[in-house]
Chains A and B, each alone.
Chain A
Amino acid sequence: MIQDVDRSTVVSEHVIDSPVLGGITPRELSGGVKTLILINNVSDRIFNASACGDNCAKWLLEMGKHKDVTINLRHIMDFGSEPFEIHIQNTDQIVHSMEELVPIAGMIVR
């Protein structure tokens, strides 16, 4: 995730090599990647995934292949053109594409 989204390489537990910022700590990772890490590792909390850009969506779907993942979204994230399975808790509906998701999510968030 860190390599894909932030284009950064984990050198050690506390040091990351960023192509733009140089050597950084995990604190300077993008808000999106930090939120993805929390979603993946702290399963008893629900995180605001609107801190994540669309380039994080595939990682949320990837996590969902291995376990149920519950997130809070305050905007309409673009989950891409491939089929997926997302349960919208507000309306108790399951959607499989952006064409199905947008009309429902758009009535809840902007």
Chain B
Amino acid sequence: MKGKYSIRVGNNRLRYEFTIYRNITILKGNSATGKTTLVEMIREYYEDRELSGIQLESEVPCRTLSGRDWNVLLPSIENSIVFIDEDNDFLKTVEFADAVRESNNYYVIVTREGLPNLPYSVEEIYGIRESGKYAGLKQVYNEFYRIYYPKQMDLGFPVKRIVVEDTNSGFEFFSGLASSWNAEVISSGGKSGVFAKLLERDPEENCLVIADGAALGSEIDRIMKLIGNSDKVILYLPESFEWLILRSGLIDGKRIQEILAKPEQYIPSEKYFSWERYFTALIIEETKDSYLRYSKRKLNPVYLQETERRRIIEAMDMIGELLKDGEMS
């Protein structure tokens, strides 16, 4: 399944309106904000339709999944949005992750626990908040809000340490970039290593973390809590390193920029577990017959040439300003 889906569901007292953009969406936040009530409404509507007293508007079917027989039921659900409440132990299992990977459904999962087997985006982690009442109807209107969002950063300081989640091409790029700087570039060896690398840092040292936002969802909570209110750490979370190269415009073609503007319209969930994997496949395909031929395992040195690296740095917006030559000494 691909595309974004706007959903409206409610009864005469309570109404939810939200949009789902990717295959995996996480709901968390304070108790009593209506997460379980939402899942329960979806379940009741599926069971009893209009007789439930619930109205649901969605382009695709909405289902719920729970209990011991989840793996029996799930194969029969296709091209649907599947809502799963917390307290389902299967959420953390490899078996469930495998089922999600091969499925053409989207999933909305209620959990405060990080789910490391699932590559979900930091942008698709939401809380629910009451945004008002419909005049005269006494109906409470709930909406989703993004829990982790970019904040204004003071970039006017030299970075002494750069932690890069990538181990291969991305790490080689940033290492090559920093070869003339007085900054140490280290790889965290994957998303689960970012927290430990941040623990090792000197708290007085300015540190930049570059990680793939498309799949860092399970790590972001402990990372944000470790950083706390420190102004010594900057998190830069592009979708992925490959997304950055695509965004730079190095590879010609209007089509690529159209894809980047609305990725959800192009990425089938049953083929790509996360957007990060799609962007990797896209760049490999688009560059295979050119001097920009891309490999995830080993960086093509052409990306470190003056013109190419400048374009990639410029694609990093404010962080690119920080990384420009001469500003990191």
Contact = CB atoms under 8 A, between A and B. Distances in A.
Interface of A: 5-7, 20-22, 30-33, 48, 50-56, 74-76, 78, 98-99, 102-103, 105-107, 109-110
Contacts of B3: none
11 contacts: A33-B31, A33-B32, A50-B86, A51-B87, A53-B29, A53-B33, A56-B31, A76-B222, A98-B225, A110-B116, A110-B218
Given A21-B37, A99-B228, A110-B221, A53 B14 contact: no
Contact of B228 (A21, A75, A98): A98
Contacts of B226: 102-103, 106
Given A5-B31, A21-B14, A110 B222 contact: yes
Contacts of A50: 86, 112-113
A8 to B, nearest CB: 8
Contacts of B61: none
B195 interface: yes
A35 B195 CA distance: 29
Given A22-B13, A50-B113, A109-B113, A55 B222 contact: no
A105 B33 CA distance: 26
A39 to B, nearest CB: 13
A32 B31 contact: yes
B121 to A, nearest CB: 15
A19 B116 CA distance: 37
Contacts of B116: 110
A55 B112 CA distance: 13
Contacts of A33: 31-32
Contact of A7 (B32, B112, B199): B32
Nearest to A78: B225
Interface string B80-122: 0000001100000000000000000000000011101000000
B36 A103 contact: no
B219 interface: yes
Interface string B206-239: 0000000000001101100110100000000000
B32 A55 contact: yes
B152 interface: no
Nearest to B112: A75
Contacts of B219: 110
